[in-house]
Every structure is written in C-alpha cells, then in structure tokens.
Amino acid sequence: MTSENHSFRELSQMATNLIPSEIIRLGNEINKLIKEGHEIFNMTIGDFDPSEFPIPTKLRNAIINSYNLGHTNYPPAHGMLELRQSISEYILKFQNLEYSTEQILVSGGSRPLIYAAYKTIVDPGEKVIYPIPSWNNNHYCHLSEACPIEISTLPEQFFMPSVVEIQPQLKNAVMVALCSPQNPTGTMFSKDSLYSICKAILLENEQRKGTRKPIYILYDQIYSQLCYDSNIHVDPVTLFPELSDYVIFIDGMSKSFAATGVRVGWAFGPESVLNKMRAILSHIGAWAPKAEQVATAEFLKDIPEVENYLKKFKGEVHERLIGLFDGLKKLADDGFPVDVIKPQGAIYLTVKFPWKNYRKPNGDIFTSQSQITEFLLKECHWAIVPFKAFGDDGESEWYRISVGTIRKNKIGEMLEFLKLGMKKLVK
C-alpha cells in the first residue's frame, strides 16, 4: 500500500512540504534534450566549465601533493589551524577586516555554513528578512522552521533591498539575510544603501539590548572578489565596526577561484556564534576534505599568485558578461522583446523576456513563465533560470543567466539563435 493511501502522515512535516529545486527540474529537461541531439546553450548552473575556467595551477598541484603526502584522515571540526590562519591573513589583506583563527569556521563549501547559521540563530517560528529574488533563503527558512519575511525588490533598484523596505520589518525579526554581489541578479549594494540598512539594524539592536535576542546579519559575500567597473564590494562591519558582534560572513573558494568542486568554504564572525555553528556541523560531518584544506592554506598565503589569478579570472568572466549584455542590449534597441541589467558583480546577468505582451508562434497566449521558459529552451536553444527558482512568483518576466560555462567564441552564435527564435513570437 502506498503512502498516499495511508490516513496518517509517515514523514516529517518539513520533509513532506519541502519544495523541489526548480533548477534541478529544469536541468533534467535540458539533459533530455541534449541526449536527443539538440544543441542547448546551458546557462542554468552557477558553476564553471573547467576547460574554460580551471582552478589556479598552484592550488591544483598543492591538492595533488597533499593527497600524495597522505592527508586523507579527518581534519579538525572547525578547520585546520594553518588554513584558518591563511584565511585570517586573506581577509585582512583583501577586506581590511581583522578576525582571529578562533573566529573562523571552515566547512565543505558555504552551504553547510549558511544552514548552521540559520540553526544557530533562529528558533522555530522566528522571523528572517531576505530579499526576493535571492538564492535559497526560502529553502533555508523551511529547513530551520523559520518564518520568512520576504522583501520584493524592483529592477529600478537593481533588485537589491533598501532600508525603506527592510526597516518596518526589523522589530519582528532575528536575522536579515543579505548577499552582495547577489545571486541571482549580478548586482550589488552601494555603500550608501548598505550603510542605511546597517544603521537601522544597529539602532534596533541598541533598543533591544538586555531585553530581546538581537538581530543578526547573515552576509553572503562568496562573490566579493568578482566586482566590475567602478563597483566596489562593501560590508556591514567595515561600515559599522560595532556591528561585528552581530554579523556572520559567508565566503569561500568556490566562486572567486572557480573551485566549486574543491569544497572549501568559511564563515567568520563573533566567536560565540561560530562555536555553536561548529558544534552543529561537527554532528553533521560537513568539514572540507583535509587535503584540500592543506592545499588552500598554501595557496592563499601566496598573495602574488592569488592576485594574478584573480586579475585574469575576473577579466574572462567580465568579458562574457559584457559580451552577452551588449548583444542583448542591441536586440532590445532593435525592437526585440528583451531587457537586461548591466552586470555589477558575480557571474550572473539579469534579463527580462516580457512574455505577457506576446503570443506563441501558433497564436496561443503565454499563460505562465514556465511556457516562455520552454519556448526559450526549444525555439531559441537557451536554457536559463526564471526568478521563480529564487523565490519570486510565477508571474515574473525576469531570468538569471550564468556565464561560467559559456565559451567566448559561442556568444555571437547564441545571440543569433535567440534572435531567430524571438522572430517567431507574435505581437
């Protein structure tokens, strides 16, 4: 007898109501089309093609050497001391933030750290503020039984939340989850905007002192090294050093060094919070592999090597972002139904396909974002992720493009396929 026939619930409420990943669903459809022989430009994954974006040579060689030296046993639960020392020096060099080795926690990528921060700070039913769209906060709220306060953002604000939207909600919350440069939008906080938000949180915490749990800021800066043109990464503690007791930073190797599979992430912040996060993760066993930790410690200490890699890597990513941006902007100027926001950071481009004003080639109206997503996939050969996958509703016309798997010599062809497909739309 299947569980559907049972009158009682067999699984936890959390598991029963878990929302499937829209990106994984879309990925399955893409893989099916590729197996059938279709050419698909897959821009759905926030990852890198190693043939286009290899990890730093020194890091790769150090990983191999670490395995050859037998670093295959358990690492310390909070990360190897030499790695935490290297991270401390790296943070000081690139952000001018001073954190000791005891204020740093290493994990197998940044995801376990975000989960641990939620579980450390938020009790079931307590409220977490985060913008929409944003990556995975809706799922982390579900996993930790938090109550989400979603701030719907606007393209006019580059899809970044403002103090005007956040401040009225602060009295009800225990955490504000922010990301800059942001996934999925490729946009970032200006200094003035983040300053206003942090000042409001600081004032709220001063009023709560000794009476209520403070508001913490979960600050995901995994893309902080990938800022373009005149855009400069800013953070809460640099703006307000007195916020250091309330900010948990999330960072790591994955995005800035094309090392998504190396699985070395780190958090840093108040030691009391980091200790509890470490305790949670020690029960899960979410540490980064020891050999990768040894290698990362060696690599991060070599500042000239780090800077040389970042300079070339950022140039390659930005060239792809701007190539697509310029091409999409030209299509818009030529009257095609597309809009695009200039990239500021990360590996993402935000693009709009206003499907509500157009019909399918057979004359039928589009009734949902999923239908234009399917049209883009099958008629334009473009696989991109709708903002619905990042917490937005199904009415959104905006999408995320990831450039980590794009070949530069294919950008012209990609744009031509899109143009030919959009010519089939009926006004």
Between CA 182 and CA 180 the distance in angstroms is 4
Domains annotated for the chain, with CATH where assigned, are 10-39+308-422 (3.90.1150.10), 57-302 (3.40.640.10)
Is the pLDDT higher at 262 or at 35? 262
Element (H, E) at 252: strand 247-252
pLDDT at residue 182 above 70? yes
User: Residues 130, 152: contact at Cβ < 8 Å?
Assistant: no
Between CA 345 and CA 360 the distance in angstroms is 34
Give the residue carrying structure tokens 């941006």: 325
User: Residues 180, 233: contact at Cβ < 8 Å?
Assistant: yes
Mean pLDDT throughout 53-61?
Answer: 98
What is the SS3 assignment for 78?
A: coil
pLDDT of residue 187: 98
Q: How confident is the model at residue 394 (pLDDT cuts 50, 70, 90)?
A: confident
CA dihedral of residues 265, 18, 350, 426 (deg, nearest 10): 160
Which token pair is 342? 């200039």
CB neighbour list of residue 298: distance below 8 Å, 6 or more residues apart: 58, 62, 86
User: Residues 83, 105: contact at Cβ < 8 Å?
Assistant: no
Mean pLDDT throughout 47-75?
Answer: 98
User: Residues 159, 350: contact at Cβ < 8 Å?
Assistant: yes
pLDDT of residue 1: 42
pLDDT at residue 141 above 70? yes
Mean pLDDT throughout 223-229?
Answer: 98
User: Residues 188, 218: contact at Cβ < 8 Å?
Assistant: no
pLDDT of residue 393: 84
pLDDT of residue 427: 80
Between CA 368 and CA 415 the distance in angstroms is 24
Per residue in 343-393, pLDDT (tens digit) is 999 999 999 998 777 888 888 888 888 899 999 999 999 999 999 999 998
CB neighbour list of residue 146: distance below 8 Å, 6 or more residues apart: 118, 122, 124, 125, 126, 127, 128, 140, 175
In whole numbers, what is the pLDDT of the chain averaged over residues? 94
pLDDT of residue 395: 83
pLDDT of residue 30: 85
User: Residues 153, 161: contact at Cβ < 8 Å?
Assistant: yes
pLDDT of residue 9: 67
Query: For the chain, what is the radius of gyration of the CA atoms?
Result: 22
Per residue in 301-349, pLDDT (tens digit) is 999 999 999 999 999 999 999 999 999 999 999 999 999 999 999 999 9
pLDDT of residue 348: 98
pLDDT at residue 72 above 50? yes
Q: Could you tell me what percent of the chain has a pLDDT over 90?
A: 85
pLDDT of residue 7: 52
pLDDT at residue 8 above 80? no
E-state strands within 109-164: 127-132, 147-152
* 161: Cα within 13 Å, side-chain hemisphere: 23
Category of 136 on φ-ψ map: left (φ > 0), alpha (ψ -120 to 50) or beta: left
The residues that bridge with 227 in the sheet, in sequence order, are 345
